[in-house]
Structure 1
Amino acid sequence: AILAGFIFVDDLFAQHLAHKTVLSILALLTFSALLAGRKIYGWRGITASKWTLWGFSLLMLGFFGSKLVLETISK
């Protein structure tokens, strides 16, 4: 979805989407690291939960943070 989104975005900075894109990419990297850690190091339990919560927090911050920025600061 992130790669497909780059096709349809004409100018990332003109549409005020830079922070959302950066946070989404960080979340993608976090979840990728979680999968790699699970495969290579056998992460389970507390370690896997922490990585999952960090990834979810980044996605949530990207969604709600962008709403806050667009509704509050843009006015």
Structure 2
Amino acid sequence: MKFYHIVYAKNRIVSCSETGEKISGNEPYYEHSNGQLSFAIVKADNESQARSIAKYLAIELQQKHKPQDAAK
């Protein structure tokens, strides 16, 4: 497996490239601000798999940080 560095803009993938960066502990490693991802480092067999993981990560994070419905 390889590590991939994914860069986001508004939770959309801008770039995905193999990297020599390694992560220890929990993976994937990512940084965000209020559910808006800036980057992630994921472990995957290939770039296509890394992009899939990155898309799922963005969707999951958006759902966790979705504003609560004011009508409730």
More strand by share: 2
TM-score normalized by structure 1?
Answer: 0.34
More relative contact order in 1 or in 2 (CA 8 Å, sep 6+)?
Answer: 1
TM-score normalized by structure 2?
Answer: 0.36
- Structure number, greater radius of gyration: 1
